[in-house]
Amino acid sequence: MTRNATPSPFIFIIMYDTTKVTDEVTYEKILKYVDEYQIYSHYLGYNLKVNKPMSSPFRTDKHPSWSIFRNKVGNLLWKDFATGEAGNVITFVQKLFDLKFNKALEKVWEDIIAGKELKPKIKSIKPAERVSIPSTIIGITRKYFTKADDEYWEQYGIDREILKYFNVFPIQTFWVNGEPSGFTYNKDNPIYAYKIYDKFKIYRPYAKVRKNKWRNNCSSYDLQGLEQLPDSGDLLIITKSLKDVMTLHSLGYTSVAPQSEQSTIPKKIMDNLKQRFKKIVIFFDYDDGGVEGAKKLSKRYNLKSVFIPKHYLEIYKVKDISDFRKEMSKEKTIELLKELFKEEVLK
């Protein structure tokens, strides 16, 4: 009969302090001990105020244009209203210290949690601090550029280099909130995506029904062309579409565009643009919508407006600069822009 082995006297019970274990650090694990507010405040060096403009911690920012806000599910997010960049508290740490995601998690753990007697906590949410965020989610399937794409954009003086610079590319199809759009790319009916920061604007140039021509999940803060602007300049043109922005870019002009001529431009962004550019001029379509939109924007921010002369609309059906470039040639477009933005207009 086999005897039972005598228990060894050398049995160790290993107790782990979970706050000191740094392997498999996750965002969720961090938030069991500290909330996002504490992390932001730790690295900023002061107790921040939610929904209040402050100077960006990432760049020289004499005119505060950076803010932290709560989204509708209670997460504290940051947004730079001058550049359009946005993210959560971990992307904040990544950008602040130039770290990859996992390294940022480890840094937060080591700097704030490890070795401290912290207990898991419940995160509270103040309803008054919540803000609305776009509920539309757009998914895309990208495709390669083809000769048909080149031919379409070259009508407006826009080549592949410009398209890539402004994050415009052809797509095979797209989804809205998980539902297929039902539209598929073909050479006679192409589909393009404008990637504007972390959002998309879908463009079907030959769609016969207006509601099928555009789909987007952008807000008024997502100005088209804002991401590509230089730090400063003499003249900034506010035009009505990204196509116009790209056509103007091809001719040496700097511009941005709201989501439509009826969209407002938030004051935070406009204040920043006025600090960066010596002169800002509105350049919308010479039709009822364009004139009315320009009038509102001009009155709100005390800006001048210029328009393509009305006879081009009446005779040639041309009302924006990209169509002018298509119908009237590059040389005539250059002449027109010189006349519209001549020195006396900019005084």
Q: Which secondary structure element, helix H or strand E, spans residue 271, and what is its range? A: helix 267-276
Query: Is residue 328, in this structure, part of any structural domain at all?
Result: yes
Only one residue has tokens 């040496």, namely 252
Is 157 found in the same domain as 112?
A: no
Domain presence at residue 154: yes
Q: Give, to the nearest 10 degrees, the angle between helix 36-44 and helix 89-97.
A: 20
Q: How many domains does the chain have?
A: 3
Q: Which two tokens stand for residue 63?
A: 């005119």
Quickly count: other Cβ atoms within 10 Å of residue 322's Cβ.
Answer: 25
248 Cβ neighbours under 8 A, 6+ residues apart: 237, 239, 254, 255, 321, 337
Domain final position from 100, 129, 158: 129
Q: Is residue 1 part of a domain?
A: no
Q: How far apart are CA 287 and CA 323, in angstroms?
A: 14
CATH of the domain at 41: 3.90.580
Q: Are 229 and 306 within one domain?
A: yes
Same domain, 206 and 260: no
pLDDT of 121 reads: 52
Do residues 160 and 269 both lie within one domain?
A: no
Residue 22 belongs to what H/E stretch?
Answer: none
What's the pLDDT score for residue 10? 35
Residue-wise pLDDT tens digits, 297-330: 999 999 999 999 988 988 888 999 999 999 999 9
In a domain, 229, yes or no: yes
Tell me what pLDDT residue 294 has: 94
Regarding whether 336 and 256 lie in a shared domain, the answer is: yes
Q: Are residues 212 and 263 in the same domain?
A: no
As a whole number of angstroms, the distance between CA 251 and CA 325 comes to: 10
- Please tell me whether residues 275 and 290 are part of one structural domain: yes
* pLDDT score at 73: 67
Alpha-carbon distances, residue 143 vs 39, 140, 148, 180, 222 (angstroms): 40, 10, 13, 17, 24
Of 169, 189, 218, the one marking the end of a domain is 218
Same domain for 225 and 345, yes or no, is yes
| Residue 167 sits in the same domain as residue 184 | yes
Report pLDDT for 72: 65
Residue 188 has which token pair?
């006679």
pTM: 0.66
Task: Find the domain containing 118 and state its range.
Answer: 18-129
* pLDDT tens, N- to C-terminus, the chain (347 residues): 444 444 433 333 333 333 444 457 888 888 888 889 889 988 988 777 787 778 888 888 777 778 888 876 678 888 887 777 888 899 999 999 999 988 999 999 998 888 765 555 544 333 333 334 445 788 889 999 999 999 999 999 999 999 999 999 999 999 887 788 999 999 999 999 999 887 899 999 999 888 899 999 888 888 999 989 988 899 999 999 999 999 999 999 999 999 988 888 988 889 989 989 999 999 999 888 899 999 999 999 999 999 999 889 888 889 999 999 999 999 999 999 999 998 655 66
Domain identity same for 258 and 321? yes
Residue 3 belongs to a domain: no
Any domain includes 282: yes
User: Cα torsion for 222, 226, 227, 232, to the nearest 10°?
Assistant: -150
The pLDDT, as a whole number, for residue 124 is 38
Q: What is the structure's pLDDT at 183?
A: 95
Per-residue tokens: 283: 């350049």
Looking at beta carbons, which pairs linking 172-177 to residues 24 or more positions away fall under 8 Å? 172/141, 172/142, 172/143, 173/140, 173/141, 174/138, 174/139, 174/140, 174/141, 174/200, 174/202, 174/215, 175/138, 175/139, 175/140, 176/136, 176/137, 176/138, 176/215, 177/135, 177/136, 177/137
Claim to verify: residue 256 and residue 344 sit in the same structural domain: yes
Whether 154 and 225 share a structural domain: no
> Looking at the chain, how many residues does it have?
347
